[in-house]
Each structure stands twice: as structure tokens, then as C-alpha cells.
Chain A
């Protein structure tokens, strides 16, 4: 059973546009929601993470929006660049850190010039 559902599976965005990736979860015990960026042949790199006590977190061009009541969270990439082309994974765990992360299925983002 997929604990974290992610959509879309793939996304094509023009340079300068906004990329939006959505995730949903069921387990209300989750309290840590990170996003990872993965380039081909590389391990995932932590992009940004949020705890349920805030509804939004912004770091540079990357923003997480969190809706606790709907059990949904999303990643927004502003001013998308070709270098952002990668696979993005949302995840959830019951505590911050590496403890038993449940990953979404991934979104392959392509930013076209």
C-alpha cells in the first residue's frame, strides 16, 4: 500500500514557469515531510522539509505548502530553470531524520528552454 501518493508522474514546464508537484498521505502520525531531488545515477538530495505546525516554508525558489486538514502537501518551484530538470520525490516520516521515510512515486520534471 502506497503510504504517500504523488502526482503528476511527469511534468513539463517552460523556463520561468512554476512547477507544482502534489502529495497526499493518510497516516496522521506522520510529522515530517521532506522533498528530495534526484538526478539520474545519483542519490536523492534533500531540498526542503516541513513539519505540520506550519502551513508554508520557503527556501529560495522552492516552497512547500502544507494542508494538515486535507493531509496534502505540495512543492512549488518558482522561475523553473532547465537545471531543475530531475525527478522529485516527496516523503513522510514519523520523526525528523532518516527514520523510516515513506516515499512518493516520484515526478519527473522537465523544464524546457
Chain B
């Protein structure tokens, strides 16, 4: 299947700082990528849909000014958690779909805000 690479796999940051997470489709082009958040032992919650060359579409309740998404190319989307606080600590996962169908997920990023 297609490969989606997410970096970093884990990050610890101080409260008030910003953190950038990258999501790359390695062997296919993805016009749309998705960002999810997952709390321990819970399901994935869609945060936003990232569209190449245009603004992201955010799900209800997700602060777009806090979670900045940029989809600069067909193979790269970034999520920046701005002014992070301890309650933003979570597991963030991106996904992308190739032309053949099927959604492929990155390996996830464990964010811990201290």
C-alpha cells in the first residue's frame, strides 16, 4: 500500500510554544490529507481536512487559529499547534488517500506539553 510518513513521532514542548508536525505522502500525490486527534484508548477524531493550495476545512469545535494547517504541495501537509498547552497533549495522526482508493495513515505524533 501507499506510504504516508509523519514526523516527528514524538515531541515534548513547553507550554506556550508552537510545534509543527509534518505529513508526507512518499510514493503518491495527495490532493487531500486529513488530520486526526486521538486520546488514549479512544477513537480517532477528525480535526480538519487539508486541501492542496487552499485553506483547510476544520471540523466543528476545532480552533483553526490554534491548529494551523498548510498543504503546500501534493505530498506535504503540516499541522502547527500554536501556543500549546497541556490540554493539547495528544496523539496526532494524518492520513491521505491514493487514486486507487483506501486511506493510509502516518505513524502518528505523540505530543506532550509540559
Contact = CB atoms under 8 A, between A and B. Distances in A.
B78 interface: no
A44 B93 contact: yes
Taking chain B's interface residues, is the majority helix, strand, or loop, or is none over half, making it mixed? strand
Given A46-B103, A98-B34, A99-B32, A41 B110 contact: yes
How big is the B interface, by class? 20 to 34
8 contacts: A44-B44, A46-B1, A46-B105, A93-B103, A98-B33, A98-B95, A100-B46, A101-B44
Interface stretch (A13-21, A58-66, A71-79, A102-110): A102-110
A27 to B, nearest CB: 15
Interface string A28-48: 000010101000011111100
Contacts of B46: 100-101
Contact of A46 (B102, B107, B110): B102
How big is the A interface, by class? 20 to 34
4 smallest CB-CB distances across A and B, nearest first, come from A97-B97, A96-B101, A98-B97, A98-B103
Nearest to A36: B105
A98 B49 CA distance: 10
A46 B104 contact: yes
